[in-house]
Amino acid sequence: MTQNHNPFARGYRNLRTVRTLLITYEDDCPPVWRPLHASQAHLPDDDVARFPCLFGRDFALITEGQDVPDELANQCPNEGIVRTVVHAIEAKDTDGRFAHLGDLYSREAAREVIHRLRFETGFYSRCWEISSAHISEEAWNYLAELADSAKPLPFLFVAFRIPCSPAIGVKLISTPWTDEVLSATEGIDGAWRLHDEHRRAGMPECLVEVLRLAALADVRILIFDADAPVLDGLTVCQT
């Protein structure tokens, strides 16, 4: 498993729509894509498509029927025609950078796609069942002791038994375990402090790492079961 790869990471985050304009200008020049300036964001698509515009490096301005301040016009030295309006769907990938997922030709259609991708009727990839081979026997016994103990611990997770099953589950709290989230929700100055607290409490390193990766991917329920499949890309501790 490479240092930058998290096998628990799935899907996209921070889905958003970005309205962009396909603009043509001089006959021998290829078309360009530009966003509409924020001062004209209120204009509906029907008042943008097929209308003349000014554009520069960063944005475009519709000129017909619109008051364009000289200050903005001076930043748009080119004249063109908006041929179509596209609502692009973007989202943050697992590496934290925005990725372009696709284009729709109305805001309503783009929002419907985002609604489906977000799985707003539930939570996608927040409950996992993986092989207990990903943690050592020492780590399994450590979890079992936590699951059988009634004493609350400041670990930001709770271990529990699965009835009529040898599996052990973990409910992760305040995920994802990033510096920003842990600072805002728990007052913890850096995720490393939480992991260091786990180690000081005697938690085996393999369990620290599995929980770290799962929580970083916003997993909320993680179940360890000897009969569950091995998660590709995650270190196996038991053979």
The whole-angstrom separation of Cα 160 and Cα 173 is 14
Peptide bond into 7 cis (omega under 30): no
pLDDT digits (tens, 9 = 90+) for 185-210: 999 999 999 999 999 999 999 999 99
Q: What is the pLDDT of residue 119?
A: 56
DSSP characters for 44-111?
A: -GGGTTT-EEEE-SS-EEE-TT----HHHHTT--EEEEEEEEEEEEEEE-TTSSEEEEEEESSHHHHH
pLDDT digits (tens, 9 = 90+) for 124-163: 558 899 999 999 999 999 999 999 987 778 899 999 999 9
pLDDT digits (tens, 9 = 90+) for 59-82: 999 999 999 999 999 999 999 999
pTM: 0.61
Length of the chain: 239
What is the CA 236 to chain-centroid distance, rounded?
Answer: 26
Query: What's the rounded mean pLDDT across residues 13-31?
Result: 90
